[in-house]
Amino acid sequence: MKILIIGAAGMIGMRLARSIIKNDFNGEIHDITLFDVIPPKIENHKNSYKIKTGDISDPNIISELINQKPDIIYHLAAIVSGDAEENFEKGWDINAKGTWHLLEGIRKKFLTSNGSYKPKFIYASSLAVFSGPYPSAINDDFSPNPETSYGAQKLVGEILINEYSRKGFLDGVALRLPTIVVRPGKPNKAASSFYSSIIREPLNGIEAILPVPENLCHWFASPLSAIRFLRHAAKLDFKKLGNRRSLNLPGVSCSISDQILALEEIAGTKTSKLIKKIPDKKIEDIVNNWPQNFMADRAIELGFVADKDFKDIIQIYINEEINT
Amino acid sequence: MKILIIGAAGMIGMRLARSIIKNDFNGEIHDITLFDVIPPKIENHKNSYKIKTGDISDPNIISELINQKPDIIYHLAAIVSGDAEENFEKGWDINAKGTWHLLEGIRKKFLTSNGSYKPKFIYASSLAVFSGPYPSAINDDFSPNPETSYGAQKLVGEILINEYSRKGFLDGVALRLPTIVVRPGKPNKAASSFYSSIIREPLNGIEAILPVPENLCHWFASPLSAIRFLRHAAKLDFKKLGNRRSLNLPGVSCSISDQILALEEIAGTKTSKLIKKIPDKKIEDIVNNWPQNFMADRAIELGFVADKDFKDIIQIYINEEINT
């Protein structure tokens, strides 16, 4: 079985690649291609994967990738939210048209192979397809209504995946991932960055800034769960999805005060006191419009499993990033 | 004020053009351009409008149209449902990419005019964005999930209109029109065609075929209401739409048995007996997946008004097409 990971240099892409290489390479999976604008670096295992670099807004690159006939294609590549909002054309070119090129490349291969080539296509979508006002818990029938360019681009991708799947050109699923915490590394410019910082920095003995009120709730998953979601999707019988290829994934709904409490229980008040409240109205306004809670019934029924609670999410960070 | 109607040769486009020309030309509105692949024909009033023909998948044509700086753009052009389903590329080229070209043309004019050009953009969307299973009445938060190419293309158009409006390049609205009955003329290949036939043919003394069970419900508006919706949208303060530019429009929810009863009350049993039941499983399967009922609260609050009942809808056909 051949696997192609598009966006393999990102935080999730690299973890996914590592997980597949470490656990399954040379078993069922004998060919792994990692694709991104910059070459992904996976420690060790140098002979277990191929690397390709390029831009998915270039149809020639797409042809090259699809000509290898990967059986499973993970599409995780995207211009991030802030960049897509600032750079309208770039965001639409890469996040929406890039995805479309990719699907078109697959469709053409499907047609020239007389339907013998029909890969699984696993797409990382986002909670950014939604906007408020929200019900107390968002169910599987709640309408997306993006209020960011990134969210609109992801939603166009979802509709195309649904359509190309329904027409039988490929077998796709769009996974609306919860916000992934705790991300390792430095804070970035994403509005959600503080959600990782307020846990990560204190655990490393550094002060962190909390820019929003403590009662704000949001929907989370650990990087480990994100990888489990993506790998579970590869094993899923997509017939069970019918013509509804977008899935709200299960997660942990948690207020910031509960997050701080969880941190305190794990690492003590000395650690949690490193969180400094410095309100930032701009970030508060953005985060206020994010989903707080879901009833992800369909995904749960399909076997996707969330983290147990926020303490679990913190513990995963400690195990993966501190105790190694 | 300049008006551009794209798709002006269609049933709704021509009626809209007639309504504007007859009631408002040389008042507030001094310039009307009718655009379609074939030249629209409006009886009389020959000096009140300009005609342009072409294909909206051609960016040069778009530039020409937008260079005239229309204040209000009606975008009603589309490859119909059956055609879009059979001809995948054609449907996506015209219904989705054509709409995108149009929005891009407007955005470019917005940019080159330093933001002084910002038209109202009124888009005919469709119930085809939805699929079942449905709640007893679809509310404004119910998620679209197209199960036809046409519906998917319309939904991509909606997302783009929302996005281009949110970014301030234009001021758009997407009107999800109910199924329009009673259409004049001959039956066509649309699965919905029988909904007009079973009223129109008997009223003209001709037999009509009913291919689906009488208990099937659906959501209707008269051509007159459709024109009122489109004209009401032009007068609407779009600020009231916020960032939710797609509207489920009000209509009449009616079962086929109630439609037959309404026909009987208006024209007697001799007329209604001209409806012959010849079940067609293929059509039944399609129609079974169509919305039956809505709570169109937002649109009603914004002043969109539905037909009173199905008798009203039949009477409008009689007034417009038989008693003239």
Assign residue B215 the CATH number of its domain: 3.90.25.10
Position B182 in a domain: no
Interface touch A131/B163, C-beta < 8 Å: no
Element containing residue A100 per DSSP (H, E): helix A98-112
pLDDT class of B324 with cuts at 50, 70, 90: confident
Q: B244 to chain A, minimum CA–CA distance in Å?
A: 7
Position B170 in a domain: yes
* Minimum CA–CA partner of B161 in chain A: A152
Position A303 in a domain: no
Position A186 in a domain: no
Residues in A touching B142 (Cβ below 8 Å): 141, 143
Residue B179 · residue B218 · CB < 8 Å: yes
Task: Pick B147's closest partner by Cβ from A131, A145, A243.
Answer: A243
Same domain, A238 and A265: no
Residues in B touching A135 (Cβ below 8 Å): 141
**What value does the mean pLDDT take over residues B172-190?**
92
- Express each pLDDT in B92-109 by its tens digit: 999 999 999 999 999 999
Catalytic residue among B123, B150, B164, B317: B150
Q: CA A210, CA A227: separation in Å to the nearest integer? A: 27
Interface touch A145/B163, C-beta < 8 Å: no
Chains A, B: CB pairs < 8 Å:
55
Whole-number pLDDT of residue B25: 79
With H, G, I as helix, E, B as strand and everything else as coil, classify residue A33: strand
Candidates A163, A169, A286: best to mutate against B (most CBs of B within 10 A) is A163
Residues of A involved in catalysis: 150
Q: CA A287, CA A292: separation in Å to the nearest integer? A: 10
φ/ψ of B218, rounded to 5, equals -155, 180
Residue B47 reports pLDDT greater than 80: no
Residue B266: which domain range?
A: 193-219+252-293+308-322
Residue B88 reports pLDDT greater than 90: yes
With H, G, I as helix, E, B as strand and everything else as coil, classify residue A24: helix
Task: Pick A152's closest partner by Cβ from B145, B146, B159.
Answer: B159
Q: A245 to chain B, minimum CA–CA distance in Å?
A: 9
Q: CA A283, CA B259: separation in Å to the nearest integer? A: 54
Q: How far is CA A160 from CA A107, A117, A231, B32, in A?
A: 12, 18, 22, 35
Residues in A touching B110 (Cβ below 8 Å): none
Q: A88 to chain B, minimum CA–CA distance in Å?
A: 9
Whole-number pLDDT of residue A44: 74
Q: A100 to chain B, minimum CA–CA distance in Å?
A: 11
- Express each pLDDT in A118-152 by its tens digit: 999 999 999 999 999 999 999 999 999 999 999 99
* Residue B211 tokens, joined: 């291919």
Same domain, B22 and B167: yes
**What value does the mean pLDDT take over residues B131-152?**
96
* Residue B128 tokens, joined: 């085809």
Q: B140 to chain A, minimum CA–CA distance in Å?
A: 8
Residue B158 · residue B130 · CB < 8 Å: no
Task: Pick A166's closest partner by Cβ from B135, B147, B163.
Answer: B147
Residues in B touching A162 (Cβ below 8 Å): 145-146, 152
Residue B145 reports pLDDT greater than 90: yes
Residue A8 · residue A220 · CB < 8 Å: no
Residues in B touching A167 (Cβ below 8 Å): 88, 149
Same domain, B142 and B207: no
Interface touch A147/B166, C-beta < 8 Å: yes
> Measured in Å, how far apart are chain B's first and last C-alpha atoms?
31
Whole-number pLDDT of residue B41: 83
Whole-number pLDDT of residue A146: 97
Q: Can you tell me the ipTM of this complex?
A: 0.95
Angle between helix axes B98-112 and B59-67 (nearest 10 degrees) is: 40
Interface touch A142/B144, C-beta < 8 Å: no
Whole-number pLDDT of residue B159: 98
Same domain, A156 and A272: no
pLDDT class of B189 with cuts at 50, 70, 90: confident
φ/ψ of A180, rounded to 5, equals -90, 120
**What value does the mean pLDDT take over residues A23-48?**
86
Same domain, B237 and B312: no
Residue B122 · residue B233 · CB < 8 Å: yes
Residue A48 reports pLDDT greater than 80: yes
**HSE value, Cβ hemisphere, 13 Å, CA-based, for B323:** 7
**What value does the mean pLDDT take over residues B259-279?**
97
Task: Pick A143's closest partner by Cβ from B141, B152, B163.
Answer: B141
Q: Which pairs count as long-range contacts for A58-64, CB under 8 Å and 24+ apart, including other chains?
A: A58/A101, A59/A101, A59/A104, A59/A105, A62/A101, A62/A102, A62/A104, A62/A105, A63/A105
Same domain, A213 and A275: yes
Residue A242 reports pLDDT greater than 90: yes
Same domain, A33 and A151: yes
Whole-number pLDDT of residue A188: 79
Position B298 in a domain: no
Residue A71 · residue A59 · CB < 8 Å: no
Same domain, A256 and A238: no
* Minimum CA–CA partner of A104 in chain B: B89
Q: B137 to chain A, minimum CA–CA distance in Å?
A: 13
Q: B237 to chain A, minimum CA–CA distance in Å?
A: 20
Interface touch A152/B163, C-beta < 8 Å: yes
Average model confidence (pLDDT) across chain B? 95
Same domain, A227 and A198: no
Of the candidate ranges A41-55, A236-250, B82-96, B201-215, the one whose mean pLDDT is the lowest? A41-55
Interface touch B162/A144, C-beta < 8 Å: no
Interface touch B152/A163, C-beta < 8 Å: yes
Position A183 in a domain: no
Residues in A touching B242 (Cβ below 8 Å): none
Q: CA B53, CA B36: separation in Å to the nearest integer? A: 5
Q: CA A82, CA A189: separation in Å to the nearest integer? A: 7
Position A153 in a domain: yes
Report the side by side order of strands in the sheet with B120-126. B50-53, B31-36, B2-6, B72-75, B120-126, B171-177, B246-248
Residues in A touching B135 (Cβ below 8 Å): 141
With H, G, I as helix, E, B as strand and everything else as coil, classify residue B98: helix
**What value does the mean pLDDT take over residues B166-173?**
98
Q: Which residues of A touch B (CB under 8 A)?
A: 88, 131, 135, 140-147, 149, 152, 155-156, 159-160, 162-163, 166-167, 243-244, 246
Whole-number pLDDT of residue A57: 85
In sequence order, the 6+-apart residues with CB closer than 8 A to the CB of A106 are: A66, A73, A117, A119, A121, A164, A169, A170
Residues in B touching A152 (Cβ below 8 Å): 159-160, 162-163
In sequence order, the 6+-apart residues with CB closer than 8 A to the CB of A153 are: A78, A84, A91, A92, A95, A96, A99
Residue A229 · residue A248 · CB < 8 Å: no
Assign residue B91 the CATH number of its domain: 3.40.50.720
* Cis-peptide, bond into residue A182, ω within 30° of zero: yes
Interface touch A145/B244, C-beta < 8 Å: yes
Whole-number pLDDT of residue A199: 98
Same domain, A228 and A214: no
Interface touch B144/A143, C-beta < 8 Å: yes
Residue B235 reports pLDDT greater than 90: yes
* Minimum CA–CA partner of A133 in chain B: B141
Same domain, B278 and B226: no
Higher-pLDDT residue of A45, A108: A108
Residues present in chain B in total: 324
* Minimum CA–CA partner of A160 in chain B: B152
Q: CA A148, CA A158: separation in Å to the nearest integer? A: 15
* Residue B104 tokens, joined: 């891009």
Q: CA B248, CA B233: separation in Å to the nearest integer? A: 13
Position B183 in a domain: no
Counting the structural domains of chain A, the total is 2
Same domain, A228 and A286: no
Per DSSP (E only), the strands in chain B are 2-6, 31-36, 50-53, 72-75, 120-126, 171-177, 179-180, 208-210, 217-221, 246-248, 252-255, 275-277
